[in-house]
Structure 1
Amino acid sequence: MTAPAPPSETLRASLATLLDGLPPKQAAQAVDRLIANYRGATPTDTPILRDRADVAAYAAYRMPATFEAVHAALEALAEAVPDWTPADHTDVGGGTGAATWAVSATWPGDRAVTVLDWSDPALALGREIALANPALKDARWQRARIGKDLTLPATTDLVTVSYVLNELTPADRTALVDTAAASARSVVIVEAGTPAGYARVIEARDRLIAAGFRVAAPCPHSAACPIAPGEDWCHFSARVSRSSLHRQVKGGSLPYEDEKFSYVAATRLPVTPAPARVIRRPQIRKGQVLLDLCEPDEQLTRRTITKRHGDLYKAARDTAWGDSWPPADS
């Protein structure tokens, strides 16, 4: 029997058919406007995704990047809580459901899934795409205003909030994080890997810790972030294969691009965070590897791993930005 394709490949195959019949120029114009909103500020009473053309362009252009970023954050959570699998998942502001695909790629199997969003066209298209993923066959796609009036189940195992906080007013951001904290055993929040995105993640991180959560990732501790505000920001990178729409809009020749994102994964469960986290792309030089690390003692350090470190040096050469350090098997 042929093994089923990974969720990432199934998602890409489903997205490839979305733009059939949509003029390339119209798709590109929709993406340009969506990127402007994604990078700017949007009132909470104005859904970004207005119609089928918007949603198709958004899904084809943004879903692969959102999937890869959220999947990376979820994998870090799974590493920190290895004996746990969420029995149910609520994706807040989930749009076309990229985070639900990422959850199914991290923890295979069936679970109760609910996607909440205020855009009917996004929910409709998300439901359509999800038909290709058996883990999402019974998912609920529900229209809801995301903000202070949002209600969630009294208890839910996992709540994801990806690329949503940027669309909300400060008051609605606070209300959303507090609502998620009151409902969930674990919360994963992903934002753009910009200084502003990082600031929103840190604000949410602080509220989750105040609500009794422990940080599972990326931080190796639940104390204050050691990065001085305004001087730097914590973010990571996920490799994304470029679709034809990506190449058309950006005019790039490379078959991939790197999605920069910031995130926090927090939980009420017993957790073993990373011993340290690689917070920049490792610098590989002749006979040595330079690793920039966030340490459990709330310090940022640079470690130089050389050939004389033996197996640790080999591990450092294979270590990627965002990985825990040292590797568990080192």
Structure 2
Amino acid sequence: MHEELRAALAGLLDGLPPKRAAQAVERLIANYRGTTPTDAPVLRDRADVAAYAAYRMPATFEAVHAALTAFAVRVPDWSPATHVDIGGGTGAATWAAAATWDGHRSTVWDWAQPALDLGRELAADVLPEAQWQRRVIGEGLAVPEGTDLVTVSYVLGELRPEARRAVVAAAATARSVVLIEPGTPDGYLRIREARDQLIEAGLRIAAPCPHSDTCPIVPGEDWCHFAARVSRSSLHRQVKGGSLSYEDEKFSYVAATRVAVPTEPPARIVRKPQLRKGQVLLDLCTADEGLVRSTVTKRHGESYRAARDASWGDGLPRH
């Protein structure tokens, strides 16, 4: 799916003057990094949408795919038959869902018709059954009864608090919900707030948290986030003005569900593992002790080998 998305994006900016593409990207970057919600479409026209797709779709895809994969590991015997992507824009989360599970039907909701049009165009040959529907994302939104999976990625930060709560409440009526925000302190706080709302609605947290208790992180002192490696195509480098062949997309997320999950979840690695001679230092979020620093040495045998191969964001049994 990664390569199919890259192929769909190739040539997207053909015919668009470089100056206009650069201006659209600069405005999108300012909005993406800003703190003032608009409760209005960020993508205004075809130029905006093309710039956004080239600038953000690869990174959004990888972040959402990482979150969905972590969730799928926790519920290996479950897969969605129906999927609604709220505020899905050009459809990165729909591509990510298709890369995670087979045989489901996706519907993308967004308030920007140009984004929906381009998303449909990009997915026409690969995801022909996906539906693209215009919706106002905010208060009054209702998810169809019986929906299996709802995704909301990089949307909550665009909404005012009352609209944000309404969107999370609508998502919480599904069997499973995965929410993704930028891996910033503010993005984490939005995910933390939504996490509490999902728990109050009766869902159980499946990932990244190994529990559904209060998050042990003290707001203002730290924040929970992860990273997804994004390979940059020549188009991606052109739009973003970068020279490296890759970048790391930082994101915060929560996955919650009404379906059965293992009763004894693993710890979650919440920082990049530190490799030392004969030992690995792991920062873990655990179900029984909250945040802990674990030192795994060669004497731990199989646990040591697993720790050396582990990555930031992985689930890991306590040794």
Aligned to 1:236: 226
1:156 aligned counterpart, secondary structure: coil
Aligned to 2:29: 35
Matches of 1:306 and 1:314, distance apart in 2? 9
Aligned to 2:176: 186
2:148 aligned counterpart, secondary structure: strand
Quick check: 1:292 aligned with 2:286? no
Structure 1 counterpart of 2:79, from 82, 85, 97: 85
Residue identity opposite 2:221 in structure 1? E
Residue identity opposite 2:163 in structure 1? D
Aligned to 1:52: 46
Aligned to 1:126: 119
Structure 2 counterpart of 1:99, from 81, 93, 98: 93
Aligned to 2:139: 148
Q: Compute the displacement of 1:245 (Å).
A: 4.2
Quick check: 1:309 aligned with 2:283? no
Quick check: 1:260 aligned with 2:253? no
**Equivalent residues in 2 for 1:134-283, closer than 5 Å:** 136-182=127-173, 184-272=174-262, 274-283=265-274
Post-superposition Cα deviations, 1:210-254, rounded to whole Å, max 9, x if no partner, equal 000000000000000000111100000000011334433544332
Post-superposition Cα deviations, 1:259-304, rounded to whole Å, max 9, x if no partner, equal 0000000001111263100000000111111110001115101111
Aligned to 1:3: none
Post-superposition Cα deviations, 1:4-39, rounded to whole Å, max 9, x if no partner, equal xxx111001110121111122322221111011011
Residue identity opposite 1:252 in structure 2? G
Matches of 2:79 and 2:239, distance apart in 1? 38
Residue identity opposite 2:149 in structure 1? L
CA contact (8 A) 2:39 2:158 kept: no
Residue identity opposite 1:66 in structure 2? T
CA contact (8 A) 2:55 2:240 kept: no
TM-score of the two chains, using structure 2 as the length reference: 0.96
2:150 aligned counterpart, secondary structure: strand
Q: Compute the displacement of 1:152 (Å).
A: 1.7
RMSD: 1.5
CA contact (8 A) 1:217 1:274 kept: no
Matches of 2:39 and 2:283, distance apart in 1? 41
CA contact (8 A) 1:147 1:176 kept: yes
- Answer with 302-311 or 67-76: which moved more: 302-311
Residue identity opposite 2:162 in structure 1? A
Residue identity opposite 1:260 in structure 2? K
TM-score of the two chains, using structure 1 as the length reference: 0.93
2:25 aligned counterpart, secondary structure: helix
CA contact (8 A) 2:39 2:159 kept: no
**Count of residue pairs the alignment pairs up:** 318
Aligned to 1:20: 14
Matches of 2:37 and 2:179, distance apart in 1? 20
Aligned to 1:76: 70
Q: Compute the displacement of 1:42 (Å).
A: 5.0
Matches of 2:171 and 2:215, distance apart in 1? 22
Residue identity opposite 2:311 in structure 1? A
Q: Compute the displacement of 1:178 (Å).
A: 0.7
1:306–1:179 CA distance, 2 compared to 1 (3 A): same
Q: Percent identity?
A: 71
CA contact (8 A) 2:89 2:112 kept: yes
